[in-house]
Amino acid sequence: MLRNELSLMFRRRRLQALLGALGLVPISIMLAIRIGGGPEGGEGPAFFNQVTNNGVFATLAALTVTLPIFLPMVVAVVAGDSIAGEASLGTLRYLLIRPISRQRLLLTKAAATAVFCMAATAVVAVCGLIAGVVLFPVGRITTLSGDTLSLSAGMVRIAGAAVLIGLSLLGLAAVGLFISTLTDVPVGAMAATLGVFILVGVLNALPQVRAIHPWLFTQDWTSYGDLLRSHVQWNAITHNLVRQGLYIAIFGSAAWARFTTKDVLA
């Protein structure tokens, strides 16, 4: 069932368009850096000043740019559409007529959304890497601590950072899945999920509510940078993963409670 869901998901033209647009972001940025030159003296987003010296850093630069807006936006679209989209098309009732439990259908949708989170992150990372390797020199990787790693060891760290970013999006995906069970209007579910993300970003920027900052799912999203230190610092990474797990447990349970008792009329 999951294989069929993934096949249907990635065959949708709008999803292909979203992934294509994501892939164009790092390519456009690397072309702009190649033509205009990168920032100097540590200016600009993280990892940008290293790109011109080592194209491998284009992967991290691309992920850094897309994480605050682009990746959450496409995740909100897919998560919000997961259940509400089926209801809007009138296919949800037919899916449930088949010998498939609601729990299994919800788990399949959740798993497909999680796969998309990783796929979207992979598209950004791979397109950034290809653009960086083509446009800039490649060599040993300098860590944030000032030491150097071999290219192979550095690539393992960068791949780990990409995986961590994909996992960091799962909390938002769980929120979107829950919202998708509340409505039959997919656009409304997408907008509400994106609205929750924007609200969390605003709250995270307000020092007056710093007491709730440790509970926001965007907290420690930038912890992937700790993988690029000579000695990996696991504290923020662990907190981030635990926090995503809590959001998955809470909003996944809420989605299950809602979907298993919902009157499906469409």
CA distance 79 to 74: 9
**If you average pLDDT over residues 233-255, what whole number do you get?**
95
pLDDT number for residue 36: 75
Lowest-pLDDT choice from 34-38, 123-127, 180-184:
34-38
- Please state, rounded to an integer, the average pLDDT across all residues of the chain: 88
pTM for the model? 0.91
Q: Which of 91-95, 181-185, 205-209, 254-258 has the lowest mean pLDDT?
A: 91-95
DSSP codes, 146-198: S-EE-HHHHHHHHHHHHHHHHHHTHHHHHHHHHHHTT-S-HHHHHHHHHHHHH
**Average confidence (pLDDT) over 217-229:** 91
Q: What is the pLDDT of residue 96?
A: 67
Contacts of 31 (CB under 8 A, 6+ apart): 131, 135
Q: Are 255 and 106 in contact (CB under 8 A)?
A: yes
At residue 147, the pLDDT reads 85
Helix (H) / strand (E) element for 142: namely strand 141-142
Q: What is the C-alpha separation between 183 and 80, in angstroms, rounded?
A: 10
182-189 mean pLDDT: 91
- How far apart CA 227 and CA 47 sit, in angstroms, is 13
Nearest to 154 by CA among 43, 25, 47, 39: 47
Q: What local confidence, expressed as pLDDT, does residue 8 receive?
A: 80
CB-based contact 178:254 (threshold 8 Å): yes
Percentage of the chain exceeding pLDDT 90:
59
Which has the closest alpha carbon to 74: 15, 143, 7? 15
Element (H, E) at 251: helix 235-261
pLDDT at 46: 62
Out of 17-26, 28-37, 241-250, pick the least confident.
Answer: 28-37
